[in-house]
């Protein structure tokens, strides 16, 4: 029997009800489609997504600040602003948190103008003035020093960062900053972790909080929990006036870029892997590594007393391999 014949066998009331249902369904589908296709609907969706992103950024940054006790009452936080997306986002979100924080602290933005050719020196002062934030521009020609000392084709980042760090520490002293905030994010920390492992034979990364070698400065990384993609999205939403680094940013095939590509590929193929690696840096078992300075293996003796964290430590963690494989339709044999 055809659909038309089925419809004709129904009562007038049934046909009317069905027709009304069809109209309502059509209205709902039309509204949903128009919300996505009309300029007003598309704008509303973008605003909702931006609001969710802002809440996530505030939550992740606030969590890192609290868990690592980065900022205290009365602190003067020097935010190092380079003109890149990360430092812009750091300053932007930190100012938002400052307004709602239960403690009082001051924020000062500092930029180091390294006199790179073509550097638009007016961009940052104009932007920072529009934000209404206190700022200081430090002018130092580190570009000429780096170009003079580093042979053509060699990586400039190491010398550049050392020079920049020394200048920023001096500026922190001059303005009375008690904390120096850098814009390194979660992915920076992961890249550094693998760079040290692959090329330095060390298990270490950028810590969320550290004291400088001279013991005079506390460096913090409030974006420690924030993935880079969120910063990219926030930068596009806020339309930050990005200033590209023409000194080292233009160098191709840097090992950091190679490792970054590796992590992005993992994140695409194996959802959750990158986040698990990051979490592993917060869940370290010194007794189950090999560092004799970190753990006193020499004096390990049988005591006859049950000790938590011995060989049973391996049994406590159930690796969640199936959950990752399920995303690809792969089933493990029982």
- The enclosing domain of 138 has a CATH number of 3.40.50.620
Residue 173 forms part of a structural domain: yes
Model pLDDT, residue 314: 54
- Could you tell me the residue range of the domain that residue 262 belongs to? 58-279
The total number of structural domains in the chain stands at 1
Which of the listed ranges 36-50, 271-285, 312-326 does the model predict with the highest average pLDDT? 271-285
Residue 286 forms part of a structural domain: no
Residue 124 forms part of a structural domain: yes
pTM (2 d.p.): 0.78
pLDDT confidence bin for 86, thresholds 50/70/90: very high
The DSSP string of 61-96 is: HHHHHHHTT---TT-EEEEE--SSHHHHHHHHHHHH
Rounded-to-integer distance, Cα 137 and Cα 135, Å: 7
Region 125-136 average pLDDT: 96
Joined together, the tokens standing for residue 77 give: 């936080």
Query: Does residue 181 sit in helix, strand or coil?
Result: strand
Model pLDDT, residue 201: 95
Joined together, the tokens standing for residue 276 give: 């698990």
pLDDT at 184 over 90: yes
Residue 327 forms part of a structural domain: no
* Share of the chain residues as helix, strand and coil, in percent rounded to the nearest 5: 55, 10, 40
Model pLDDT, residue 246: 61
Residue 38 forms part of a structural domain: no
Residue 44 forms part of a structural domain: no
pLDDT at 115 over 50: yes
Query: Does residue 299 sit in helix, strand or coil?
Result: helix
Residue 76 forms part of a structural domain: yes
Residue 288 forms part of a structural domain: no
pLDDT confidence bin for 127, thresholds 50/70/90: very high
Given a contact cutoff of 8 angstroms between Cβ atoms, the answer to whether 247 and 116 are in contact is: yes
- Taken as a whole, the chain contains a residue count of 334
Beta strands in the chain (DSSP E): 76-80, 106-113, 134-139, 179-181, 209-211, 218-220
């Amino acid at each position: 029997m055809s659909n038309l014949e089925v419809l004709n066998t129904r009562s007038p009331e049934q046909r009317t009800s069905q027709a009304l249902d069809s109209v309502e369904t059509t209205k709902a589908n039309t509204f949903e489609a128009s919300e996505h296709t009309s300029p007003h609907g598309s704008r509303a969706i973008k605003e909702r997504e931006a609001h969710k992103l802002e809440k996530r950024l505030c939550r992740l940054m606030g969590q890192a600040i609290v868990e690592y006790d980065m900022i205290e009452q009365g602190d003067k936080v020097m935010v190092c602003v380079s003109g890149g997306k990360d430092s812009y986002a750091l300053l932007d979100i930190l100012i938002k948190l400052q307004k709602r924080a239960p403690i009082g602290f001051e924020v000062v933005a500092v930029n180091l103008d390294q006199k790179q050719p073509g550097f638009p020196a007016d961009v940052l002062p104009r932007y920072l003035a529009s934000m209404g934030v206190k700022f200081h521009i430090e002018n130092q020609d580190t570009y000429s020093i780096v170009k003079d000392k580093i042979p053509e084709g060699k990586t400039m980042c190491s010398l550049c960062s050392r020079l920049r760090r020394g200048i920023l520490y001096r500026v922190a002293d001059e303005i009375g900053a008690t904390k120096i905030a850098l814009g390194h994010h979660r992915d920076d920390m992961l890249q550094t972790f693998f760079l040290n492992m692959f090329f330095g034979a060390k298990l270490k990364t950028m810590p969320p909080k550290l004291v400088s070698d001279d013991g005079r400065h506390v460096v913090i990384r409030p974006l420690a929990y924030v993935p880079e993609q969120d910063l990219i999205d926030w930068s596009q939403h806020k339309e930050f006036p990005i200033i590209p680094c023409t000194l080292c940013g233009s160098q191709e095939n840097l090992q950091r870029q190679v490792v970054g590509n590796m992590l992005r590929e993992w994140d695409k193929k194996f959802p959750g892997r990158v986040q698990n690696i990051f979490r592993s840096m917060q869940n370290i078992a010194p007794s189950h590594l090999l560092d004799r300075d970190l753990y006193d293996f020499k004096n390990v003796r049988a005591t006859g007393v049950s000790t938590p964290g011995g060989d049973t430590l391996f049994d406590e963690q159930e690796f969640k391999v199936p959950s990752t494989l399920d995303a690809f339709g792969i089933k493990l044999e029982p």
